Structure 1
């Protein structure tokens, strides 16, 4: 596995914080539906800042454990929780634990992995028979149908840039089929899309400003987006009237057959 954008900077820490603010409520709601129980052993891959692992650790109780992992653990070093163990993990490597976890969570990481099916097989291997898997992954489709033409063009450019870097920005819709083919039982797959504007401090505004800022030079240089369109994207993000479509975040809950 590799990172396309350097992920050990303070800029990236800020971006991960904004992404967590945007997606934590939805993720935790779906975890509540699963019903995390005291005593469970849980795994999170690509944990970012570890906010989901921290939520899980408060649910599993004194007999439970959460293994919080990422390729780069710099942003996880400040976690101080008696039931969280931070580990460096490359999900593409042969798993060392087999059937060890009651629940595995992967959020906003699967679409970055070049060999997604191999990563999925390894994740499934680490879950016990009857155990749960929750993927929360983005899908571009709402933003590409937005009312504002420049917002649609920006996300089409984002899609093209992603293809150049083997990033699948339609992963959310593909996961139920892929998990079913892998032999898992699909419990549910639902998506959530939020409209947002520049008013009220919505984390999506700053998240998109920073995310587009990181790759805007590439988008323009590759001919995917004009500089004028890039400037217009900034103006939309400053506007209180320009309600914009977010990604759809699909949460797919699957169970490993007994």
Structure 2
């Protein structure tokens, strides 16, 4: 039937015919199993199931004294796929993916900070309590803001995403400012006790910039001097060719050469 290959479905029938024809001395042991549990006859492949995004929220329900946890299912808008991508594995998304994207769009330089990706047990997250943004054994970074915002959304009644984002950012900025102050105080204390530090990154940058500027000045002087020399040479050549009597002297010299000896 065209491009369809039914060899796998007819494997038992082929083995029995081969045994009858004498090509194999005995019937394979798996023929009875194939008879009891035949292979699938469905040739149409179904598309993979789409996973829905489930969000946890704590909301105040009218008529109840205490807020309760509500699970919301966000329906995905199915986009038409190309035939070559129709049966690819379904992309799995989590709620914090969007929160992480928004944070690093607002703070792109946080991606330039070094991060430690190696974990001790592979389950370090189980020891974190995101009721506060600072965790023991974990550096403060953008992921702390994302997890703190997600914890607020999952546990604070009737809080919006923007409000949780503002709370997490405020705590993040306060701790970052505290880290900067501690770093400056530690450097001042070290200098007071005799420590010496090399040039800072800004000082190194200014040094390289000054070196390039001085090199450019020398190049500019040489170019200006060369341009001035060329200009004066062109002006001198033009002035000599325009001296009075130059053409008459040239004609007289030509006549003297043309006279017979």
TM-score bracket, shorter-length normalisation: under 0.3
Rg comparison, structure with higher value = 2
Structure 2 length as normaliser, TM-score?
0.24
Structure 1 length as normaliser, TM-score?
0.24
Greater percentage in strand: 1
**Greater relative CO (CA pairs within 8 A, separation 6+):** 1
